[in-house]
Amino acid sequence: MPTVMLTTHCPNACPWCFARPKMEEYRARGIREMSWDDFLTVVDFYERSGIRHMILLGGEPAWHSRFMDILRCLRQRRFSVFVATTGILPDGLASRIAEEYLPGVEFGVNSTSYFQYGDPERQRVDDFLHRMGGVTSIGYTITERDVAAGRIEPILDRVAMILKFGLVRHLQFQIAVPGERNRLFVPFDRHGDAAKLIVSWFRILRRNGISCGLDCHCMPACQIPVEAHGETLFHSRCDTFMVDIGPDLEIWPCFPLSAEKAELTRFRDMGEVSRHFSAAIPPSRIVYDERCDGCAERASGACHGGCRGFQHLRQNAGTTRRPAIPGFASSFRRTMPCV
């Protein structure tokens, strides 16, 4: 499913953010948001591709100068919409969204930094969640810090948030991946530890009646724990790209592979885009470690050896091999007891 990058500015400065260099590059070129005409070009492309669901990203997509017009346009053209937001919106926007009839629009708030926000940011996020909780779910980015600690508090905190604000009972996870100048990504040789942690967290969520999902993140089959076999959460084939559409209509398969870019207007529909990127970045390049040689699952095509984007950056001498791990927060300041 493609995503649309509406803006290049964000109120957060997350150390694990892999999109920041791309946003900085755009801002250096004077591009702060997608133009209205380019947005309509994207909508036409989606319709030609038979795609009726649009994922809006940033930066912070709600900071787009015509954000409400964008939502209204998509409503008129019968799209469903998912807005990935920080919840830190311009003054009055949360109330305007709540007052507008926008069927099919849902929001996802990345909650990773929520308990580290100062009072002004927390108040804005809380206001958004109080107003839009019924159509909002939260996400969480798993970092090297989580893998090193193996604690359950981050999940208990998110269960508490869901209960407090009456949010959609779903938690979407991402695994922090390496990018230019970012930190706290989960290194290639700790994917197995990350998978075990995710399985333990998923069990807690399910006991609390909360569904969960994991964003695109291919793991070598040998790193998926036995207890997770049969789960649909993990996969070992890196053959489905999100495809990100930038504010200038530049496209790339995913942020770690953003150097493999092309122009959206070169392609008639998403099928052509997918074939282009699959041919440009073959999975045969991925080697997790020496066990890939002679691996039956690798030979059969059941396992690609991991994430193509991660392997690309792993081979780049300019990419930090190990993330830096800062100290842990002294308290998670849980909002309410939950289990």
| pLDDT level of residue 30 (50, 70, 90 thresholds) | very high
- Kindly report whether the global pTM for this prediction surpasses the value 0.85: yes
**Average pLDDT for 220-241:** 77
Residues 6+ apart with CB under 8 A from 87: 107, 109, 124, 125, 128, 129
Provide the pLDDT for residue 330. Answer: 31
From 126, 196, 207, 147, select the one nearest 171 (Cα to Cα): 207
Q: Give Cα 247 to chain centroid, integer Å.
A: 17
Provide the pLDDT for residue 273. Answer: 94
Q: How far apart are the first and last CA of the chain?
A: 35
The Cα 153–Cα 81 span in angstroms is 31
DSSP-derived secondary structure for 238-262: ------EE-TTSEEESSGGGTTS-E
The domain limits of the chain are 3-314
**Average pLDDT for 252-277:** 90
Tokens of 320: 């930090």
Provide the pLDDT for residue 231. Answer: 65
What class does CATH assign to 3-314?
Answer: alpha beta
| pLDDT level of residue 339 (50, 70, 90 thresholds) | very low
Tell whether the model's pLDDT for residue 335 goes beyond 80.
Answer: no
DSSP state letter for 198: H
pLDDT digits (tens, 9 = 90+) for 176-225: 877 777 778 888 788 889 989 998 999 999 999 999 998 877 788 888 88
Q: What percent of the chain has pLDDT over 70?
A: 87
| pLDDT level of residue 313 (50, 70, 90 thresholds) | low
DSSP-derived secondary structure for 258-317: TTS-EEGGG-SSHHHHHHHHHHHS-GGG---SGGGTT-HHHHHTS--SS-HHHHHHHT-T
Which residue, chain included where needed, has tokens 């979407």?
Answer: 172
> Which of 93-97, 227-231, 335-339 reaches the highest mean pLDDT?
93-97
27, 65, 80, 88, 252 from 34: Cα distances, Å: 12, 10, 20, 20, 16
**Average pLDDT for 52-74:** 97
**Average pLDDT for 309-329:** 52
* 208 vs 329, higher pLDDT: 208
Q: Hey, CA dihedral for 162, 168, 173, 176, is it positive or negative?
A: negative
